[in-house]
Amino acid sequence: MTRFDLLRSPFLARLLRSRWPRLILSVAALAGFVLAIAAGLAGTPVGSRNFGIIAVWIAWWAALILVAVPIAGRGWCSICPLPLPGEWFQRGGILAPAARRRGLGLRWPRRLRNLWIQNAGFALLAISSTVILTRPAVTGALLLGLIGAATVVSLVFERRAFCKYLCPIGGFVGLYSQVAPVELRVRDAALCAAHREKTCYVGGPGGEGCPWQVFPAGLTRNSSCGLCFECLRTCPYDNIAVNLRPFGADLPRPAGRRLDEAFKSFLMLGSALAYSAVLLGPWGEIKLAAFRVGTPEWAAFAGGFLAATFLALPGAFALHVAAGRLLAGPRGNFRETLASYSQALVPLGLAAWVAFSLSFVFSNLSYLWPVLSDPFGAGWDLFGTAVGAWTPYLGAAVPTLQAGILIGGLAWAAGLASRIGHRLLGDDKRGSRRALLQASPVVGFAFVVTVVQLWLLIG
C-alpha cells in the first residue's frame, strides 16, 4: 500500500520533533478540562447552560468523533491533559528527560495487560451515561476522577499505564484509530533490530522511552501508539516515519487479533446502538430507567445493556462466523476467526457512532456560544454571546448524512470482511471462493446492524 512520509517536509519534521506544539495544545486542553470540572462542580446545574456539559459532550465529542479519530487516530491522546500531572511527577519535569524517576515505577501486572478493564470501564460509563451527559456535577466529578486516577496510576506504575490499560476514552479512540489515514511506523525494521540500545523504548539523551511501552519496530496497528512522538526524538538513526496512508490500513490483518479486542468492537458497536435507542428512541420508559441510576429500574436497564453488548451481540456475531465456517469448511481456530472478523465491526461501529453523534451534535452546537460567554451559568457575558437562541444546524441534511455514512460503513465492513476472509483462507481461486462463503454471514450481520441503526436514527 502506498505511504507518504510527512517527515519529508522539514517544517513538519521540526514541528513534530519539538515538544512545544504538543505541550501548548495539551495545556489548552488542560485549561478547558479544568474549566469543565470547575463549571461542572460549581456552575449552574442546568446542563444546556453549563460549560462542563456543552464543551465536553457536544463540542469535544463532536471534534473527537467527527474529526480527530477518523482523521488523526490517536491525535487526541497526543494532547490529552489527563496524564499531564502524573507524567510531570513521574519524570520530574515536563520537557527535560528525568534525571531521577519518581513514584514506585511498578510494571503493570502481566494478567491485566489487555483491554478487559478498559472494556469494563467503558461499559460502566455507558450504563450511567444519561446522568453523566445531563448533570454537570456528575460530569465534573467524572473528569476529576479520571485525572485523579491517571495521576495515582502514574505514581504507582511505570509510564502511561493508565492510558494503555485503563482509560475508557483511550480504548474507544484506540479501536477506531485503526481507521485513520495517519500512522507512526519505522522506516526500516532491520535497523531497529540491529540497534542495541533501543533508545526508542528505554529513552536516551533526546527524550523519554516510549510512554506507551511500544517498540516502534513492532508497531502494526495505530491502537498501540499514542502519537507522543518521543521516538522521533530518541531514535539516533532518524528511522521513524509519520505516514499518510489509505484509510483503515490496519484492519485487514487478521494475525494476532485477541478476544479482548474483539469484545471492544462488540461493546462499541453495541453502545452506539443502545445509545441511539435510549437517547433518541421513542421509548420513554427505557430513558427514565436509564436516568434513575441506582434504582431497580436502572439495574434492569444496565443488566439489559450489558447482556446485549457482552452476550447477545457477540453471540449473534459468533453464530454468523460459525455459519461462515460451516459454509466454507472449518479451518483454523474458531476464536481466532471470530477475533479476525470482528475487525469488520470497526468501520461499522465508527459509522454508527458518527451517525448517532450527528443526531445531537449539530442540533445542540448552538448551546456552545452562550456557555463560552458564561461558562458557569452565573450571568456573565464575556464575549457578548450569552443570550443566544437555540438554533439547530444542518437540520434537514442530517438524516441524509446519517444514511450515507451508515451505508458507507456497511460497504466498508463488507469489503473488509471479504479481505479478512482472503487473508485467512488464501487468495487462490479456491481460497477466494471459500473466503466469500465464510465472509457472507458476517456481511449479513453487518447489513442487519445497519438496518437497525438506520431505523433507530431515521425511522
Site residues (vs other proteins, CB under 8 A): 19, 23-24, 27-28, 30-32, 34-35, 38-39, 41-46, 48-50, 81, 84-85, 88, 93-96, 375-379, 387
Q: Is 126 helix (H, G, I), strand (E, B) or coil?
A: helix
Q: Smallest gap, in angstroms, from Cβ of residue 333 to other proteins?
A: 48
Residue nearer to other proteins on the CB measure, 94 or 448: 94
> DSSP secondary-structure letter at 182?
E
The residue (of 46 and 190) whose beta carbon lies closer to other proteins is 46
What is the closest distance, in whole angstroms, from the C-beta atom of residue 81 to other proteins in the complex? 8
Q: Which is nearer to other proteins, 387 or 448 (CB)?
A: 387
- Rounded to the nearest whole angstrom, what is the least distance from the CB of residue 249 to other proteins in the complex? 35
* 8 Å CB contact between 366 and 392: yes
Amino acid at 303: G
Pairwise CA distance, residues 16 & 338, whole Å:
38
Residue 335: partners with Cβ closer than 8 Å, 6 or more residues away: 259
- In whole angstroms, give the CA distance from residue 390 to residue 49: 11
Closest to other proteins by CB, 28 or 244: 28
Which residue number, 48 or 363, has a Cβ lying nearer to other proteins?
48
Phi, psi dihedral angles at 246 (to 5 degrees) = -65, 150
Min dist. Cβ of residue 242 to other proteins (A): 23
Per-residue burial over 307-320, b if 16 or more Cβ lie within 10 Å, else e, is ebbbeebbeebbeb
Cell 495545556 belongs to residue:
27
CA distance 145 to 167: 11
Please report how close the Cβ of residue 145 comes to other proteins at its closest, in angstroms.
Answer: 17
Q: What's the CA gap between 378 and 371, in Å, rounded?
A: 10
CB nearer other proteins, residue 13 or residue 29: 29
CB of 38 to other proteins, least distance (A): 4
Report the residue number, 87 or 261, with the smaller CB distance to other proteins. 87
Residue among 109, 103, 68 at smallest CA distance from 83 = 103
Segment holding 242, helix H or strand E: strand 240-244
Angle (CA) 446-452-456 rounded to 5° is: 140
Question: How near is the Cβ of 158 to other proteins at its closest, in Å?
Answer: 21
Least distance from C-beta 387 to other proteins, angstroms?
Answer: 8
Residue 200 Cβ, how far from other proteins at the closest point, in Å?
A: 22
DSSP annotation of 374:
-
Distances (CA, A) of 434 to 99, 232, 413, 429, 440: 58, 43, 18, 9, 10
What is residue 244's three-state secondary structure?
strand
> What is the amino acid identity at position 426?
G
108 SS3 class: coil
Our CB check for other proteins shows the closer of 28 and 319 to be 28
In the complex, the smallest distance separating the C-beta of residue 408 from other proteins, rounded to whole angstroms, is 38
> C-alpha cell of 2?
502506498
Q: Of 23 and 117, which has the nearer Cβ to other proteins?
A: 23
Nearer to other proteins, 46 or 124 (CB): 46
Q: Which residues are within 8 A (CB) of 168 and not within 5 positions of it... i.e. 6 or more apart?
A: 118, 121, 122, 124, 125
